[in-house]
Structure 1
Amino acid sequence: MVEGRAAQIESPDDFVSSFEGTLVLDAIAMRLQVIGELVKKIDKIDSTILNRFPEIEWVMIMRLRDIISHHYEMIDYEIIFDICKNHIPKLKATLNHLLHNG
């Protein structure tokens, strides 16, 4: 879902240059919050699962969730853009691997 929403964003400024862009930013932030919450739950149940994939910055995902949840005004649209373009594809591949291979 994040990738689909982010596909229409070509630069960080697209998030803030129109009303539609801010809606996309808000939607992506909420999806990232959900991802962070799920990662926190997995970590709480069995942190060894996350430890098997050290290439993913799990702690940063959980911290981002906290920022979105408790300090929404601190969200940096350029960081969200970077996450969408550079980190979500790797996270998606890792999660797909985990789902299909345990």
Structure 2
Amino acid sequence: MRDNELILEILHQIQESAQKVIQRFQIISKPNDFTDTSNGVEKMDAICMMLIVIGESLKKLDKLTDNDLLSKYPDIDWKKAKGMRDIITHHYADINADTVFFTCKRKIPDLLVTIQKIINDLKV
């Protein structure tokens, strides 16, 4: 049996983290913006922390729903989203600014839309 209240709480946590990524990314226009200044490095650090939160929360969702919920929304590569958390956590010194930039620019907005759709679907 699923605990829908807990599932929704985790989804809202993902939503909030994705919104923070988008907000923090607004001043970044190219990958070098992450590496050329100390402010840029701090932005990348803060964004990476939110990417860790997103990945960890996705893993919790899979465990809680027996890998059933996210698979119903194939527009997102959930495996890569969860894998990003592992890469950041275990290989932070090797993080590539281009990868973080691409993730923020191309992946997080789509993730946010899909998470909102899942929340809406669960509330019905």
Report the TM range for the smaller structure's normalisation.
over 0.9
Q: TM-score, normalised by structure 1?
A: 0.97
Is 1:33 the counterpart of 2:48 in the alignment?
Answer: no
Which residue is 1:10 aligned to?
29
Structure 1 vs Structure 2 CA RMSD: 0.7
Distance 1:64 1:28 in 2: 12
Which residue is 1:87 aligned to?
107
Q: Which runs of 5+ in 2 are unaligned?
A: 1-19
**Is the partner of 2:73 in helix, strand or coil?**
coil
1:19 Cα offset (Å): 0.5
Q: Report percent identity of matched pairs.
A: 38
Distance 2:120 2:37 in 1: 39
Distance 1:49 1:74 in 2: 32
Distance 2:25 2:95 in 1: 16
1:67 Cα offset (Å): 1.1
Which residue is 2:8 aligned to?
none
1:42 is aligned with what amino acid? L
Q: Which runs of 5+ in 1 are unaligned?
A: none
Of stretches 41-50 and 31-40 in structure 1, the one that deviates more from structure 2 is: 41-50
Instruction: Give the number of equivalent residue pairs.
Output: 102
Q: TM-score, normalised by structure 2?
A: 0.80
Of stretches 17-26 and 60-69 in structure 1, the one that deviates more from structure 2 is: 60-69
